[in-house]
Amino acid sequence: MHKLLITILLFLLIHGNIGIPQKKNAIFDLLKNGIESFNTLFLDKNLLCFLGLHNTTLIITIGLRFYVACSILNLEIPASHCFLFAAVMIFIRVLPITHSDIGVREIAIGFLSDMLGSGLKAGMLATVVDRIFELLWTTLCTGIFKNALITSKN
């Protein structure tokens, strides 16, 4: 029941049917800016489709990477859970709780993994290994890109 209430509230907020107080408050200002950004996004169908395709690709690639991390550790976490964890990871990145979401992603995925029956330790361990994969891949790509920029084209 509470999921339905939250869905209706978000729908009404996005469509501008609920007035936000005009007070000078940081939270209300952020909420107002977020709603205006969503309304702008929903009016631009090409951008909305592009972002939807981008996020779908991102969830698939992160989900596969997370599944590989679970397979390496011999954790019995189903692929469907890995894709769910990937979607949660994307939302966690948006929340600026700590610098580079260090620890937040691990805790969130750990608790979600525990709720889904795989265990807190398994979720946290897989997320740490996934973060190491991500950092190694980023370092490799950065090195290749740096060499491509520095190498002179004779």
What local confidence, expressed as pLDDT, does residue 50 receive? 92
Query: What is the structure's pLDDT at 153?
Result: 64
Q: Which positions ≥6 away from 28 have C-beta within 8 Å?
A: 20, 21
Residue 111 has pLDDT above 70, yes or no: yes
pTM, two decimal places: 0.67
For range 80-97, the mean pLDDT: 85
Phi, psi of 151 (to 5 degrees): -60, 125
The yes-or-no verdict on residue 2 having pLDDT over 90 is no
Query: Which pLDDT value is given to residue 37?
Result: 76
Lowest-confidence pick of 18-22, 44-48, 52-56, 105-109: 18-22
Amino acid residing at 84 = L
The helix, strand and coil proportions of the chain, stated in percent and rounded to the nearest 5, come to: 80, 0, 20
CB-CB contact of 96 with 30 (8 Å): no
What is the number of helices (H) and of strands (E) in the chain?
6, 0
